[in-house]
Each structure stands twice: as C-alpha cells, then as structure tokens.
Amino acid sequence: MLNTDFTGKTKVYGVIGDPIAHTFSPEIHNSIFKAIGKNAVYTPFHVTPKGLPAAIKGASALGIGGLNVTLPHKINVIPLLTSLDKEAALIGAVNTIKFSEGEIIGFNTDIIGVEYTFKMRGLSLNDRTCLLLGAGGAADAVICALLKAKAKKIYIANRTVEKAKALKERLSPLFESEIIPLSLASAAELKGIDTVLNTTTLGFEGKTDLTPLPKAFFKNNSVEICFDAIYTPWQTRLLKEAEQSGASCINGFDMLIYQGAAAEEIWQNTKFDKEFLKSLSLNLKEFYKKRKE
Ligand code: NAP
C-alpha cells in the first residue's frame, strides 16, 4: 500500500514515553493537522529512560517540530532542554517540547488543559472553596489552574499527607489563595466545599468500585462542580454520586484534548477559537468511545 499523504515537506511531531502504545495523542494531533490543513504527521516513540538524552538530541537533529513528553520523562527531560517556559518551571515538569532553530524549549500545557476545560463551559474557578483530592502530577496542574484563577481556599487531601504539604510549601509563596493540606481520610469531614477536583487514581479502570470521598460528603456540602481527571471509565463512581446530588460533573477527557490543542498552539504559533476546540472535543469523544467499544 502506498500512502501518498506524506511528502518531502511533511513535518514530523510525536510523543515520547515508556510505555507509549496506548496513547490517544496521535488521534488528537493528527485530527488537528487534518482540520487546519497542515502537512504534518504525529506518531508515538517508545523511549526508555536510558535512551532519553539521545532521543532529544536526535529529534532536534532530525528537524522534528515538536514532541509531547509523558511518563516517566516529564521531569528528567528538563536538564536536556535549552530553556523552560514559565508554567513548566512553576510545575517542575514538561509535557511539550518545541524545537526551533537549535533551541529545545520545554512547556507544560496541562495547566492550560484544565483552564480550557472550565472556560469552555463558562465556569470560573475564581473565589471558590475547593477540595483537591490527590497530590501527584495531575494535582500539580489542577492546583496551578486554581491558584491562577484566584480560588479562595484550596484543601489538598492526599493519602500521603506529606506530599500535600510539599505542594503547599512550593506554591503558597507565589499565590494569594489559602492552601490547607490534610489527609484523604479527614477530607470526608469537610464542610462548605463548592468545588471538588479528583486527581487520585481511585475510580480508574481496574479500581472502578473505589471513590476518594464517601457519598455522604455530597449531602453535607453544596457542591456545584465536581471534576475528575479520570476519563476511563467515562463516569467514575465519584462523578455519579456528585451528579446525584445535583453537581455539574466534568470528566478528564477535555483536559486531555485541550492540553494537546495547547501544544499545537505552541508548535503552530496560533490560537484556536472556542468553536474549533468544541468541535475537536466532540469529534474525538465519538472516536474515543468507538475505540473503547
Ligand atoms: P500520580 O502522580 O501517580 O498520583 C497518583 C495520586 O493518586 C496520588 O495522589 C496518590 O496518593 C493517589 N493514590 C493512588 N492510589 C491510591 C489509593 N489506593 N488510595 C488513595 N490515594 C491513592 O498520578 P497522576 O499522573 O497524578 O494521575 C492521577 C490520575 O489522573 C490518573 O487516574 C490519571 O489517569 C489521571 N490523569 C488525567 C489526565 C488528563 O489529561 N485527564 C492527565 C494526567 C493524569 P499518594 O501520594 O498517597 O500515593
């Protein structure tokens, strides 16, 4: 079979990770290339930790336009870059690299992914009293979005409470919002929370019967928004129970799509409008659901 879509002018982009076979990123980026009429291709590259320095140097030498970076390379890639943008420095992790005239620049679009998720629904995070569940990589992006939006108060509840404390110590000198670390067990007793954001793996595929909060929490709090970074399953037990209590529920699919769209905005030096982002998410949702069936 001859694929005539690719020519001598085709620009190459990709994602590096270990493992990488199950990534959804090629679907996101190749859909965007098609929609904007860009002669480009996006492909996964399996890169081990040992191979990371050679992969970055090689990608630069090959004239690759950009790479997304996923586990386990998001932090270890930083010393291999020539510069780091503001948000990647804030979060201390890189998910997007732009190669430009010998420069290798690191970005983090996970924060934008969270911001777009709420903005696209007309929801503001400003002045909210939030409960953030989890203190790992996804929590880092979510808390930065909350802090940038000037949330009023952010409780960070984590099984390992030291990690929640470390997040507070790193970020509270830079922002105005009040940050209160606590254990996951004691989060169940909180009152006055209007926004819940889950970034723990509880509820994820293989743990679908689990949830980070008891159902009674939603009886004791008037939760308006419940976000779960998980999108497999599409609706976690947490989201189901929050929805039953009347909260607006959002899963992590748009965070995934919009962090990808934000990487394209960096690579293609463009800005997508709301309509474009909305239809991208809708089309990819259909595609993702079919792939899962
Ligand atoms: P991570 O860095 O490994 O953090 C995992 C978090 O889950 C930690 O807070 C951890 O607590 C907690 N956790 C794990 N097992 C637990 C248990 N049995 N009981 C209580 N807490 C537990 O992972 P991550 O990268 O942040 O990812 C977290 C979730 O977000 C995953 O489900 C992932 O699929 C999702 N995610 C979604 C997106 C998106 O674009 N939508 C992006 C990234 C991640 P400890 O600190 O105590 O271990």
For ligand 1, atom 41: residue with the closest CA: 252
The whole-angstrom separation of Cα 41 and Cα 46 is 16
- To test ligand 1's pocket by mutation, which of 73, 117, 162, 199 has the most ligand atoms within 8 angstroms of CB? 199
pLDDT at 112: 97
Give the model's pLDDT for residue 1: 47
262: nearest Cα among 154, 135, 107, 45: 107
Q: What is the pLDDT of residue 273?
A: 96
Show the ligand 1 pocket: residues with CB < 6 angstroms: 113, 134-139, 158-160, 163, 184, 199-202, 204, 229-231, 252, 255-256, 259
Q: Give me the catalytic one of 50, 74, 163, 240.
A: 74
**Phi, psi values for residue 60, rounded to 5°:** -65, -45
Q: Is 74 a catalytic residue?
A: yes
Q: Mean pLDDT in each 10-residue stretch from start to end of the chain (293 residues)?
A: 77 97 96 96 98 98 97 97 96 96 96 98 98 97 98 98 97 96 97 98 94 97 98 97 98 98 98 97 92 74
Residue owning the nearest CA to atom 18 of ligand 1: 202
> Measured in angstroms, how far is the CA atom of residue 163 from the centroid of ligand 1?
12
Half-sphere exposure for 8 (CA within 13 Å, toward CB): 0
pLDDT at position 292 = 74
How many Å lie between the centroid of ligand 1 and the Cα of residue 40? 33
Ligand 1: atom nearest CA of 253 is 41
| Residue minimizing CA distance to atom 1 of ligand 1 | 136
What is the distance in A from the centroid of ligand 1 to the CA of 58?
32
Nearest CA owner, ligand 1 atom 2: 136
- What integer pLDDT is reported at residue 58 of this predicted model? 97
Atom of ligand 1 nearest to the CA of 134: 9
pLDDT at 2: 56
User: What is the 84 CA–ligand 1 centroid distance (Å)?
Assistant: 25
Atom of ligand 1 nearest to the CA of 139: 26
Distance 255 CA to ligand 1 centre (A): 15
DSSP letters spanning 62-117: HT--EEEE-TT-TTTTGGGSSEE-HHHHHHT--SEEEEETTEEEEE--HHHHHHHH
